[in-house]
Structure 1
């Protein structure tokens, strides 16, 4: 009972993910947002896998006024739900950090980073060398 009060009912909370995604889309219609789920069987309920967000205002701000370089990093999520938080941060004209995009993913591996970089490349109109 105590654990549920501290953590909450994760099934109920993950069920709200779609509401959160729809709310983001309704307030930011040009946002890039990807929600990835997996299913153990075709009839089973979806299981959260990945979530990517890049707001148009941040994307356009980076393109218009930030230095054309950015850093990427990942950090472990602690607590009852394991995963990684991937972030992209640029530097603005005042030498301040400027968030560009982020994702919550299941783990850090080549497939996940490729997925993240492909979305970022498309959002920022980058070309591979």
Structure 2
């Protein structure tokens, strides 16, 4: 039983390390999005317990310029707000809004 617990702990530590590495790359992702989509809104919020501590990821927001422009030009009413709670090592909440076009197709918007 202790061998299984040690193996489980090793796997969890390895997965947690991957999350740490991936969250560290979020700054690069945000910079690349800003470079490729100049007028898009990209915001990332991190928390620091004390100024010397490493940043802890809090939220990441992206609204592409194309979606903003199409939404303003079409000015369709928002039909739905959908959300879910994230489970696992990165707990949180994800929200999105949806609209329907003339062909009755659902599209995510800002």
Q: TM-score range by the shorter chain?
A: 0.7 to 0.9
Match of residue 123 from structure 1: none
Q: Report the structure number with the largest CA radius of gyration.
A: 2
Unaligned runs of 5+ in 1: 102-129
Displacement of 1:93: 1.9
CA 7–47 in structure 1, closer or farther in 2 if over 3 Å, else same: closer
Higher relative contact order (CA 8 A, sep 6+): 1
Give the TM-score normalised by the residue count of structure 2.
0.79
Match of residue 65 from structure 2: 56
Give the TM-score normalised by the residue count of structure 1.
0.69
CA 95–8 in structure 1, closer or farther in 2 if over 3 Å, else same: farther
Q: Distance in 2 between matches of 1:66 and 1:90?
A: 10
Match of residue 109 from structure 2: 100
Displacement of 1:71: 2.0
Displacement of 1:8: 5.3
Unaligned runs of 5+ in 2: 1-9
Match of residue 42 from structure 1: 51
Contact 2:44 2:59 in 1 (8 A): yes
Secondary structure of the residue aligned to 1:98 is strand
Q: Distance in 1 between matches of 2:24 and 2:72?
A: 34
Match of 1:22 among 27, 31, 51: 31
Q: Distance in 2 between matches of 1:7 and 1:45?
A: 16
Query: Runs of at least 4 residues of structure 1 off by over 6 A?
Result: none
